[in-house]
Structure 1
Amino acid sequence: MMSRTAVRLRSLALLCGLWLPLAASGAGFPELGKMLEKGFLISAEARLLGDGGRSGEVLGAIEPGLQLSPASVSKAYLAAAALDRWGPQHRFTTRLVSAAELGADGVLRGDLILDGGGDPALASEGLWRLTQRLHQAGVREVEGRLVVSQWRFGPVECITTDRCQAQSRAANSYSALLSSAGVNHGNWCVNVAPGSAAGEPARVFSCDSQTLIVGIDNQLETRPPGSATEFSAERVTREDGDVMLLRGHIALDAAPRDVYRASGDPARQTARTLSAMLEQAGIAIGNGFVTSIEPPSASARTLAEVEGRTMQELLLHIMNYSNNFMADVLALNLVDTPRATLLQAGEAIQDYVAGLPDHGPVIMLSGSGLTTENRTSAQGANALLESMFHRTSLFPSFVASFQSPVNGVSRFIRRGSPLVQDHIMLKTGTLNQPHAVRAASGYFRTRSGRWGVFTVLVNGTASTPWLNWAQVLDPLSRDLERMIAAH
């Protein structure tokens, strides 16, 4: 595997390559090519797919080999590598295990261990099923501790600003920290509702328990009916754990709403959530909970287990909702050794890409694309798409994870004529710092029914700091429409 230093040196070399003179031609992309005149860096290619190993006709290209940031288009690489490794029906398993004796009286005389299986979509529902199955196994009391083991990976070193800041505070959900024993995408959820009368504090409930399992600092006031509802929510980590700070006001007639914020320690969040569920199920924990990076002992036996969603379901959520927590947790599972890092996860994706014909160089430092040093080219991304197209057993699950604009989860992709919206499926990527990125990659079908692939990577520079989706998708839609209609 490449060392971190080698990866960064390779990244620097490619970054330097970004400043080489660009071809001013936008052959096949006359509308998109106008952005070159404004100083944007573009790598674009659209081509038909061949058959029998033959290369398809190139319909348009702008510097197709130029290495640029793909942002969340990186998730298409992750999806392909994951399907190649596990197939569409693979499920990750989470277990409750113990090496202790379970007495006839229902007392487990030792520790109860949650063995975090790296399930990217483990949620409260899964923990509740584990709790119910533990109860069905006859456990009524645990004399020892609840131990949440994240021995596979976690805590994972942060390599992006947002995640590093989230170790102490977070005002969003997307910067969630990573663990093989995380739950609910590494986010706390509280439900905020108006108080019983104007002037009273808002009421705050846990989304995942009958009792509050995260600290609350509530300075959210109820206002008269018809008032504006404006409030902020921030999670901070104090000596006694995570606390949600709520500030502002909510109208008396406002509907309750769920608020999600990244937790400061996803394994500890899992421990607190599971402890509350065990208590609700009448299973007492004698000595509280802890988190661990040690695996359960070889003598530990399974008391309860729950299987997660299939891989094809995971990819649908990762790609459609561009879920960064799920993407990076899945990428970490690609690493075969314990205590995985995001750089190792990126190397596992790079190793997969190295086996793709005609791809060329790639840098993947994460599976999510949050890592701004990720680099690929339009030509390379299209090589990935073509390779999956020819894998009959994997392609249906792969293409289903892309969005069709006419039915897309993301409203901003519903652009262009009905012909375009009905004939393409795409994955988009967005970054705003340290430079603007808008990327789109996917498949199209021509009027005659032929398949094609397209990738457009648009990167801003210091002189082009402003970039929105209309600037990219509108001209791209017009260019694709001509290609689709002409074939």
Structure 2
Amino acid sequence: MLIRAAVRLRYLLLFGLSLLPLVASAAGFAALEKMTERGFLISAEARLLGDAGRPGEVLGAIEPGRQLSPASVSKAYLAAAALDRWGPQHRFTTRLVSSAELDADGVLRGDLILDGGGDPALTTEDLWRLAQRLHQAGVREVEGRLVVSQWRFGPVACITTDRCAAESRAANSYSALLSSAGVNHGNWCVNVAPGASAGEPARVTSCDSQSLIVEIDNRMETRAAGTATEFSAERITREEDEVMLLRGHIALNAAPRDVYRASGDPARQTARTLAAMLEQAGIAIGAGYATTTEPPPASAHALATVEGRPLQELLLQVMNYSNNFMADVLALNLVDAPRATLLQAGEAIQDYVAGLPDHGPVVMLSGSGLTTENRTSASGANTLLESMFHRTSLFPSFVASFQSPANGVSRFIRRGSPLVQDRLMLKTGTLNQPYAVRAVSGYFRARSGRWGVFTVLVNGTASTPWLNWAQVLDPLAQDLERMIEAH
């Protein structure tokens, strides 16, 4: 993903300070090294970890100190920094608060405020729990407004082209904008099903409520059973209202399907979704809804609270599914001051890395790795992995967030022999613009039972051919198998 020109100068200054002499040695990476002949830039290193008085040993390296884009391998840095800051059992809390009093008739004589706690996995179910707990507290009507407060961070200024474009329209789910009060990963969801008969419009309903909470522009037609289903979905903003525009056709016998598209205003999306939950719970809102970047008044008291899932569970989603919204929201939480920016979040990760001896330079402009301007080296990434290996209380949660090729959620990583697939835990990173990036980093177990770490960063250029995962993972699996067998 391309980075905006407004932050490019800062990146160049950081990266200019991070250049180190490059050392080339393909020992151990005989198969992978052939990619350099095609013009790809590679930084690779595999090494055993020291234990029981035995020092570690480098098994293979290709310019291990070279600074390249790690793409979503950046999320391993985020995971380590988050575990270091909060520990595996930390939970983010979302509250409904108010300064108003509740009268004997269940009327709250003022505003109801959702205090966005920065939970990166807040869902409609959590909002429903808040609505139920508010009802249990005796609230039946809110005389004032429903106000969603994103004072911790949000709306967060975009620094990449896809997120900037999503402010007005989005045809995907991964470019969601960021807020400390976002819900459902910053995505609207609608369910698309065939109409009652051929020729009728498709039936479009909300995934999250009995009534529609986002405007629908339905241009989909139901066609005869057995025909192909083809449609497109785009979230657009029209005069400040968000609209799901659907075009195409669906077969009469097609199964209903959920469609997710990034919201252009996640705090407002939360307000509309929560308003629908309150309505279903029998709680009326008298003066509509609003969003704010101001914190709740000091006099506000909690009326309902919901705690999110433990950090170790959040990291499974961040790492296994490479969830960009969750990653960047977690990174923004690392910033202590309110009104956090992505660049400050990146600096918080860099501050953590600065405490790792022998890591070397790193540039982080976000926690997700959505931009090619993030920079690290294979040697540096392995230093991060090794540091977490020696942190007994954190390592189980950290390594559990990596995928096993044998049974991970991503099928494309199932490369190599059963020996390799059973002995690796890894995180991958993929970018295609403005040039191709394929990155992989993780742990392996040698035949002897010793642990090792490996990182391979492959970056294309404007003149290199197309790069796919098979071109990287197949030779890497061959090289790692030799290393595992030899030790």
TM-score range, shorter chain: over 0.9
Aligned residues of 2:118 and 2:180 also touching (Cα < 8 A): yes
CA–CA distance in 2 between the matches of 1:53 and 1:22? Answer: 28
Q: Describe the shift of the 1:53–1:81 C-alpha distance in structure 2 as closer, same or farther (beyond 3 A).
A: farther
Q: Which amino acid aligns with 2:389?
A: F
Aligned residues of 1:319 and 1:427 also touching (Cα < 8 A): yes
Any unmatched runs of 5+ in structure 1? Answer: none
- TM alignment of 1:362-441, pairs within 5 A: 362-441=362-441
Corresponding position of 2:242: 242
Q: Is the partner of 1:420 in helix, strand or coil?
A: helix
Corresponding position of 2:114: 114
CA–CA distance in 2 between the matches of 1:117 and 1:160? Answer: 25
CA shift for structure 1 position 152 = 0.2
Corresponding position of 2:13: 10
CA–CA distance in 1 between the matches of 2:294 and 2:373? Answer: 32
Corresponding position of 1:468: 468
Aligned residues of 1:69 and 1:374 also touching (Cα < 8 A): yes
Corresponding position of 1:254: 254
Corresponding position of 2:97: 97
CA–CA distance in 1 between the matches of 2:225 and 2:268? Answer: 39
Aligned residues of 1:11 and 1:373 also touching (Cα < 8 A): no
Corresponding position of 1:313: 313
Q: Which amino acid aligns with 1:270?
A: T
Q: Describe the shift of the 1:85–1:53 C-alpha distance in structure 2 as closer, same or farther (beyond 3 A).
A: farther
Aligned residues of 2:67 and 2:375 also touching (Cα < 8 A): yes
CA–CA distance in 2 between the matches of 1:21 and 1:179? Answer: 40
- TM alignment of 1:116-155, pairs within 5 A: 116-155=116-155
Instruction: Using the aligned pairs only, state the percent identity.
Output: 84
CA shift for structure 1 position 13 = 1.9
CA shift for structure 1 position 10 = 2.9
CA shift for structure 1 position 465 = 4.4
1:446 aligns with 2:449: no
Aligned residues of 1:153 and 1:340 also touching (Cα < 8 A): yes
CA–CA distance in 2 between the matches of 1:68 and 1:474? Answer: 21
- TM alignment of 1:333-352, pairs within 5 A: 333-352=333-352
Q: Is the partner of 1:8 in helix, strand or coil?
A: helix
CA shift for structure 1 position 5 = 7.7
Per-residue deviation, residues 85-129 of structure 1 (Å, max 9, x unmatched): 000000000000000011011000000000000000000010000
CA–CA distance in 1 between the matches of 2:55 and 2:152? Answer: 42
Per-residue deviation, residues 45-77 of structure 1 (Å, max 9, x unmatched): 000000268640100000000000000000000
Q: Is the partner of 2:56 in helix, strand or coil?
A: coil
Aligned residues of 2:64 and 2:378 also touching (Cα < 8 A): yes
Q: Which amino acid aligns with 2:286?
A: G
Corresponding position of 1:27: 27
Corresponding position of 1:324: 324
Instruction: Report the more deviating stretch, 384-393 or 49-58.
Output: 49-58
Corresponding position of 1:288: 288
CA–CA distance in 1 between the matches of 2:181 and 2:240? Answer: 21
Aligned residues of 2:22 and 2:64 also touching (Cα < 8 A): no
Q: Which amino acid aligns with 1:441?
A: S
CA–CA distance in 1 between the matches of 2:228 and 2:310? Answer: 43
Q: Which amino acid aligns with 1:399?
A: V
CA–CA distance in 1 between the matches of 2:335 and 2:135? Answer: 34
TM-score w.r.t. length of structure 1: 0.97
- How many residues align? The count is 482
CA–CA distance in 2 between the matches of 1:55 and 1:74? Answer: 27
CA shift for structure 1 position 4 = 6.1
Q: Describe the shift of the 1:465–1:167 C-alpha distance in structure 2 as closer, same or farther (beyond 3 A).
A: farther
Tell me the C-alpha RMSD between the 2 structures. Answer: 1.5
CA shift for structure 1 position 371 = 2.2
CA shift for structure 1 position 448 = 1.2
CA–CA distance in 2 between the matches of 1:411 and 1:5? Answer: 35
- TM alignment of 1:265-280, pairs within 5 A: 265-280=265-280
Corresponding position of 1:180: 180
Q: Is the partner of 2:191 in helix, strand or coil?
A: strand
Q: Is the partner of 2:27 in helix, strand or coil?
A: coil
CA–CA distance in 2 between the matches of 1:22 and 1:391? Answer: 29
Per-residue deviation, residues 377-426 of structure 1 (Å, max 9, x unmatched): 00000000000000000000000000000101111101111000000000
CA shift for structure 1 position 9 = 3.1
Corresponding position of 1:191: 191
CA–CA distance in 1 between the matches of 2:22 and 2:370? Answer: 27
CA shift for structure 1 position 27 = 1.2
Corresponding position of 1:42: 42
Aligned residues of 1:68 and 1:377 also touching (Cα < 8 A): yes
Q: Describe the shift of the 1:12–1:78 C-alpha distance in structure 2 as closer, same or farther (beyond 3 A).
A: closer
CA shift for structure 1 position 362 = 0.2
CA–CA distance in 1 between the matches of 2:284 and 2:476? Answer: 59
Q: Is the partner of 1:67 in helix, strand or coil?
A: coil
Q: Which amino acid aligns with 1:410?
A: S
CA shift for structure 1 position 239 = 1.1
Aligned residues of 2:15 and 2:363 also touching (Cα < 8 A): no
Q: Is the partner of 1:406 in helix, strand or coil?
A: coil
CA–CA distance in 1 between the matches of 2:8 and 2:469? Answer: 34
Q: Is the partner of 1:131 in helix, strand or coil?
A: helix
Q: Describe the shift of the 1:55–1:70 C-alpha distance in structure 2 as closer, same or farther (beyond 3 A).
A: farther
CA shift for structure 1 position 372 = 1.8
Q: Is the partner of 2:26 in helix, strand or coil?
A: coil
Q: Describe the shift of the 1:14–1:223 C-alpha distance in structure 2 as closer, same or farther (beyond 3 A).
A: farther
Q: Is the partner of 2:374 in helix, strand or coil?
A: coil
CA–CA distance in 2 between the matches of 1:126 and 1:365? Answer: 30
Aligned residues of 1:114 and 1:148 also touching (Cα < 8 A): yes
Instruction: Report the more deviating stretch, 236-245 or 467-476.
Output: 236-245
TM-score w.r.t. length of structure 2: 0.97
Q: Describe the shift of the 1:6–1:247 C-alpha distance in structure 2 as closer, same or farther (beyond 3 A).
A: closer
CA–CA distance in 2 between the matches of 1:330 and 1:74? Answer: 13
CA–CA distance in 1 between the matches of 2:433 and 2:26? Answer: 26
CA shift for structure 1 position 7 = 3.6
CA–CA distance in 2 between the matches of 1:195 and 1:314? Answer: 38
CA shift for structure 1 position 11 = 4.1
Aligned residues of 1:436 and 1:465 also touching (Cα < 8 A): no
1:51 aligns with 2:51: yes
CA–CA distance in 2 between the matches of 1:416 and 1:8? Answer: 37
CA shift for structure 1 position 166 = 0.2
Q: Which amino acid aligns with 1:378?
A: A
Q: Is the partner of 1:407 in helix, strand or coil?
A: coil
Any unmatched runs of 5+ in structure 2? Answer: 1-5
